Structure 1
Amino acid sequence: MDENIKLDLINKIKKGLFEIEDFNNFIEFLAVICNESDEIKQELEDENLTIQLAIEHSIFAWIKVDSGNISAGQGEIENSDVTIHMTENVCQKLFSGEIDAVEAYKSGSLKIEGPIALALKFKEIISMVKEFVTENY
């Protein structure tokens, strides 16, 4: 990941700013930070799951956790364990911290295909990344 993009995202995370234009870089950034943090890798070492994200059925990305190693990419991935559907507005508010994922799910603005526990794992990953960035940058 380009260092300037990484620094820009770190600043946005610290300030609670997120724009939908940041989405693809943010997904890659999640993987970079997860793999950079021994603590996050250890926390995820027993996890094996693939999460598909779908923003208004037009923007797709995925995150794969494989025994503590994280990869991410744009587009659709086959055989995801859970798919999380949301609008651009919900995505922006979710990643900026304006709304909580559980609240968004309960209100119906975030939809989940698959086990809710796996979708909550994604929420946990985002929280760990935000905490790591806040403490280390």
Structure 2
Amino acid sequence: MDIPQMIFVNLPVRDLDASRAFFAALGYSFNPQFTDENAACMVVSESIFVMLLVEPFFQTFTPQPLCDARRQTEVITCLSADSRKAVDGLVDKALAAGGTEPMPARDYGFMYQRGFQDLDGHLWEIAHMDGEPS
């Protein structure tokens, strides 16, 4: 039996408690088995996880200097959504929890997307594409 490939996105954060509260307000849960004072394992789906790592701990994984995502863009993480309403709902939750919306919604006809910046400036895109269940 093939096990589906998983993805673990690792993001540096300044304040782990604030980041956990922010993403919990968006409806995400955390796996306590991989969560401690240095890291929190946010469960996005059965195969997608985001490791929120305090900056000093994150720095132990790379010799490169950390990017300040509030001033530079290092990556845009895009997640699919089941509907346009789900896109708007998640982004609206992010804004209510203290995130910002760096660009207006974009409607390409076949794809609708909106995004937000989390408390550390990381960019998140939420997209619904035609052909996905609504």
Which category of TM-score, normalised to the shorter sequence, fits these structures?
under 0.3
Which is helix-richer, 1 or 2?
1
Which is strand-richer, 1 or 2?
2
Q: Which has the larger radius of gyration?
A: 2
TM-score, normalising length from structure 2?
Answer: 0.25
TM-score, normalising length from structure 1?
Answer: 0.25
